[in-house]
Chains A and B, each alone.
Chain A
Amino acid sequence: MSHVEVEHVTKQFGDVTAVDDVTFTAEEGEFVSLLGPSGCGKTTTLRMIAGLEMPTEGAIRIGGEDVTDRPAYEREIGMVFQHYALFPHKSVGENVGFPLKMRGVPAAERRERVAEVLERVRLPDVMDRSPEELSGGQQQRVALARALVFEPDVLLMDEPLSALDRVLREQMRVEVQRIQREFDITTIYVTHDQAEAFAMSDRVAVLDEGHLAQQGRPLDIYESPQTKFVANFIGESTTLSGTVADRDGKRLLETDAGVTFELPAAPGLADDRMTVYLRAEKLGISPDSSGATNEFPATIATTNYLGEKTQFFCTLADGTELVVAEQGFTALDAYDAGDTVYVTIDPADLVVARDPGQDESNTAVDESVA
């Protein structure tokens, strides 16, 4: 039995289905992220766990107890909001002590526990200040302290780092993770930032338009995306679909774009429709043909030098767009727009899945929301 269980939860606002039959779990002490673009239902799911929204259908259990019909104030939930929601009319100490006050803890003990938790989030000596005097990162720590001080069953966080600037955000990632480990608290974390989710989570649940698209370890999500949405939302990739054929004892995928791939093992039967996801950074690029397996020509449309990596936006013979990314690339001068280049991929790096059967599935090149 998992610590937090979300079972077939659906939420409708009028005619709009914000969350559609979502099921996932979080084990005791586990860090689970809900990842997806805005409007995918991740925040609504989190709010249902918190008790701020009531699910239209489905059940939510925390620690084995069914809390589906309980209001927020009867669940033992620590929640960090996007803008921290620190009470401006109360001092830092009063803010952090608030959940204890609601539980009838006497003032003296409250002060002690507040001081202790502030120590643990490495923010001592701010007890009597106003939260508005603190920096964004400090406010973040206060919000965390406030959510943890009463030792709740679950910690819920709704895009808590999105209000910080980039450098601080990356520092706080580490810090949030450290605090989570130290308190050893089951955490459900909502974000649209793939890097954030991957860096912090034990497991990630990807949501797409209210549906659960995939859940698993970051490694599994990245290396074996099960849907086109996941392949495109996480990282940059190109999706090509085609028909499987057996030739000379080899299993080939003849894609509609005219490129033929040699498949690694033997997933699927001949004449099956299959799809390959080509991860941009797993593709190699070279001005000359080397005759290797899974090599195909493409034309460079644009080159983006980004410093740590270089992106090549290419087109295949039939016009399908393809993106290739090279790490630490310096030989830029050898590649101009309009040049024909040869793109290769190791058969082991091909992500093959059953073709979802959508007609437009050949041509999408998306970049993750970063």
Chain B
Amino acid sequence: MSERHQRAADSADRTGFERYRYRLWTGVLRAEPVLRAIQALKRRERLLTAVQAGLGIAWMAVFLLAPLAYILALSFWQRGAGGVVVQEFALANYQSILLEDVQLLGWQIGNVYLLILWQSLKFGFLTTVTTLLLGYVPGYFLGRTQSKYRSLLLLLVVLPFWVPLIIRYYAWILVMGNEGMVTTILGWVGVESGGFLYTEVAVVTGLVQVLLPFMILPIYNSVAKIDDEFVESAKTMGATPLRAFYEVTLPLSLPGISAGSILVFILAVGSFMAPALLGGPANSMVANLISQTFGESFDWPLASAMAIVYLVVLFTLITVFNRFVGLEEVFGE
């Protein structure tokens, strides 16, 4: 049976509604003006290319570049009385977040923004290292296993995404709180603690749990792409399984490691809910600070300046990382 006959048979199998929709679409697509427009476009392939690229660029411009440009402009304007924005160019916002130390009740606490930015990067780094250590083994296993349950296991990795973030963080409150699971179990073995909630440990733990799939999946992906032949040939040349892993599998899974690390790092540094729910006042991160400045102090220009500095710092870090690791490998050439 030819392909055309097959297609005809397929359409005969369709239900009434589908047949109607099919007919409608064929009607629309075969209408004279539509056909002529498509023909005209096809004849001008360069125009078509331009239109296709143009759509992408327009999308980027409207949804990414325009808001960014607005925030950039905002960051140089000033807050007027009652939170209004005064369109008056000045560097005051940047000066205040980068250079001004804050005194609170007579305590010299330094530059709050930079402290919090530093803390965010620290949390991001700790989260990345921990997820890498915890995520490599499952990622490697999923990538190499021949088990018929592999897709089920992969589903389990992404299953937590189905539970809203806020519920997962609340769950951690129950686990790590004063009367929580961790305290109770530690109590049984004779270790007294007042729980770990509202500490650095709590924030990083929450972030690790939430971001672990972003580490596991890229590692799984790059390990799965490593041909068995590489590992086997290493073994025939005298490499023990451990040596073969170190010499072959690990270096070949580097793209997955760096992709996962970058994803987790970016997401962790910018996280809002983990420090808000699991961290104490001293564990604020940059997103919390920006959000407070936007929503509670109504200082949009200052908050914009914070956002821009944050963006520049993160961008610089990733560029430096790129120099050392080579992101072409991560995102394809």
Determine the residue in chain A with the shortest Cβ distance to B239: A102
Partner of B236, one of A72, A82, A88: A72
Contacts A83-B227, A85-B229, A87-B230: A78 and B248 contacting too (C-beta < 8 A)? Answer: no
Q: Is the CB of A89 within 8 A of B252?
A: yes
For residue A98, which residues in chain B have a CB less than 8 angstroms away from its CB? 234, 237, 239, 247
Query: How far apart are the CA atoms of A112 and B149 in the complex, in Å?
Result: 48
A305 at the interface (CB under 8 A from B): no
For residue B252, which residues in chain A have a CB less than 8 angstroms away from its CB? 87-89
Partner of A85, one of B233, B239, B241, B251: B233
Which of B227, B236, B247 gathers the greatest number of chain A CB atoms within 10 Å? B236
For residue B248, which residues in chain A have a CB less than 8 angstroms away from its CB? 87
Query: How far apart are the CA atoms of A137 and B302 in the complex, in Å?
Result: 64
For residue B227, which residues in chain A have a CB less than 8 angstroms away from its CB? 83, 85
Query: How far apart are the CA atoms of A58 and B247 in the complex, in Å?
Result: 33
Q: Which A137-185 residues sit within 8 Å CB-CB of chain B?
A: 146-147, 150, 156
Q: Is the CB of B251 within 8 A of A72?
A: no
Query: Interface size class for chain A?
Result: 20 to 34
Query: How far apart are the CA atoms of A91 and B247 in the complex, in Å?
Result: 13
Query: How far apart are the CA atoms of A77 and B234 in the complex, in Å?
Result: 11
B56 at the interface (CB under 8 A from A): no
Measured CB to CB, the closest approach of chain B to A237, in angstroms, equals: 36
Query: How far apart are the CA atoms of A87 and B230 in the complex, in Å?
Result: 7
For residue B240, which residues in chain A have a CB less than 8 angstroms away from its CB? 73
For residue B232, which residues in chain A have a CB less than 8 angstroms away from its CB? 50, 52, 72, 81, 85
Q: Is the CB of B229 within 8 A of A81?
A: yes
Q: Is the CB of A99 within 8 A of B251?
A: no
Q: Is the CB of A78 within 8 A of B236?
A: yes
Q: Which residues of B contact A (CB under 8 A)?
A: 227, 229-230, 232-241, 243-244, 247-248, 251-252
Beyond A71-B235, A87-B247, 17 additional pairs, beta carbon < 8 A: A51-B236, A52-B232, A72-B236, A73-B236, A73-B240, A77-B236, A78-B237, A81-B232, A82-B229, A83-B227, A83-B229, A85-B230, A87-B234, A89-B251, A89-B252, A98-B237, A102-B238
Q: Which residues of A contact B (CB under 8 A)?
A: 50-52, 71-73, 75, 77-79, 81-83, 85, 87-89, 98-99, 102-103, 146-147, 150, 156
27 A–B contacts from the bound complex (CB under 8 Å): A50-B232, A50-B236, A51-B236, A52-B232, A52-B235, A52-B236, A72-B232, A73-B236, A73-B237, A73-B238, A73-B239, A73-B241, A73-B243, A73-B244, A75-B236, A79-B233, A83-B229, A98-B237, A98-B247, A99-B237, A99-B238, A102-B238, A146-B237, A147-B236, A147-B237, A150-B237, A156-B236
